[in-house]
Amino acid sequence: MMEAWLVAGGLVSVVSKGVPYSQTFEDKLLRLWGAFKTTVSYQCTCACMDAVKQHEAEPGAPAPDARVGLLAKVVAAGVERTSLRANPLIPGFNDTHEDIIGILNAAKHTGTKRVAVSHMYGSPRIFSVMQKSGFSFHRELFSTKKGCLKGGSAKVHVEDARRLSVTEFAKAQGKLLGLVVSSCGCDNSDIFPNDKCGICWNSGGKEMLPQVASV
């Protein structure tokens, strides 16, 4: 279906923490995306390169090395629009300076030029699940009131000061590495209303839209 859509002139945006289930499928996917390198957008999601932390936050998901390894292969296949999404950042858990530098270095090594960073947002139900699972997080670093995400419902977000400091640190460190770092504009529109992560075809401005046939 994806191949038919691309052949017809459609645009494809993929945001994923997954990896292909077999080498055969991976090879086929990379060939397809490489053949449509200007109309495929791929964003790899990986919040932290510490495998132990990442497993605790996302049990059952692919390891960090596998995720960024696939991103590197997508870049090598010639796909022009790629990025790494460091999300969900959990305050006091995987948003330390060491963690941020680790994920930025990993992004640099893949060859991608763009990174988006974004903290998690929660709700009483999410916090309850985390507590029952024994997950180590700091509730006091979250806002005490709900805020409305862009295009979404009210959620409890990480306090403004924490999001600002971590994001600005990531932007400064990313600049040293030649990376364009932004927040997720949808999740952080209250403090970064103009940031665009670049995954969607309309999130980078009209100048970034390719010329494609009508579908």
pLDDT at residue number 203: 59
Statement: residue 37 has pLDDT above 60:
yes
Helix, strand, coil percent values for the chain (each to nearest 5): 40, 20, 40
Q: Residue 135 contacts by C-beta under 8 Å, 6 or more apart in sequence?
A: 56, 57
Task: Compare 69 and 196 and report the one with higher pLDDT.
Answer: 69
Task: Compare 184 and 78 and report the one with higher pLDDT.
Answer: 78
Distance CA 75, CA 83 (A): 9
Distance CA 208, CA 178 (A): 19
pLDDT above 70 as % of the chain: 90
124 class by beta-carbon count within 10 Å (0-12 exposed, 13-18 middle, 19+ buried): exposed
Backbone phi, then psi, for 132, in 5-degree steps?
-65, -30
pLDDT at residue number 215: 32
| pLDDT tens-digit map of 109-149 | 999 999 999 999 888 888 888 888 877 778 888 888 887 67
Answer for the pair 46, 17: CB distance below 8 angstroms, yes or no: yes
Reduce the DSSP state of residue 90 to 3 states and report it: coil
Other beta carbons less than 10 A from residue 81's beta carbon:
22
Statement: residue 209 has pLDDT above 50:
no
Query: What is the mean pLDDT of the segment spanning 30-58?
Result: 94
Query: What is the mean pLDDT of the segment spanning 12-16?
Result: 93
Reduce the DSSP state of residue 25 to 3 states and report it: helix
Answer for the pair 103, 116: CB distance below 8 angstroms, yes or no: no
pLDDT at residue number 202: 65
What residue ranges define each of the domains in the chain, with the CATH number in brackets? 2-121+160-208 (3.20.20.70)
pLDDT at residue number 205: 45
pLDDT at residue number 191: 87
Q: How far is C-alpha 9 from the chain's CA centre?
A: 26
Question: DSSP characters for 167-210?
Answer: HHHHHHHHHHTT-EEEE-TTTTTTT-TT---S-STTSS-GGG--
Distance CA 84, CA 181 (A): 10
Statement: residue 23 has pLDDT above 50:
yes
| pLDDT tens-digit map of 60-110 | 999 999 999 999 999 999 999 999 999 999 998 999 999 999 999 999 999
Residue 195 confidence class, pLDDT cut points 50, 70, 90: confident
